[in-house]
Amino acid sequence: MKKETAAHPTGESAAELIERKIKKLGDWRGEMLGRLRAIIHAADPGLVETVKWRKPSNPLGVTVWEHGGILCTGETYKDYVKLTFARGASLPDPTNLFNAGFGGGTRRAVDFHEGDKVNEKALKALIHAAVAANLEKGADRKPKKAVKK
């Protein structure tokens, strides 16, 4: 089953851009991003995969997974791959998967370094919690029906 992706002005789908990014990295970071991507898709088949914030210094942009809003982003750096959860500070993290981004008020992140093992169960739980938080937030924004007296 093909995952839904948002189209981009270049005509490439988000999936094509992300696959190109993974291939271009050509090292453990690409493998890690690909593995994390597969886990995220398995956790929530209803998500939308997009690429945002494309610019000359980062032409392939930032990988973003959304469902009712941004769940998390996937970025690669020289020494690690970072998953940043947009509403991470409000999510339960009983296994202490978050290991970065504590300085901000809303976001939390998980940095993966070469050789790190991925706690797939904990990551899926974070995705589920992020979806629930986004959908709950969305429900709060819906106009309430008028009550007849």
Token pair listed for 74: 């996937």
For 73-106, what is each residue's pLDDT tens digit? Answer: 999 999 999 999 999 999 999 999 999 988 878 9
3-class DSSP state for residue 8? coil
Using only the alpha carbons of the chain, give its radius of gyration: 16
Q: Please provide residue 3's backbone torsions phi and psi, each rounded to the nearest 5 degrees.
A: -75, 145
Instruction: Tell me the residue type at 45.
Output: P
- The CATH number corresponding to 14-139 among 3.30.450, 3.90.1150, 3.30.1370, 2.60.40 equals 3.90.1150
Q: What is the pLDDT of residue 10?
A: 63
Q: Which residues of the chain have pLDDT under 50?
A: 1-4, 142-147, 149
Q: What is the pLDDT of residue 59?
A: 86
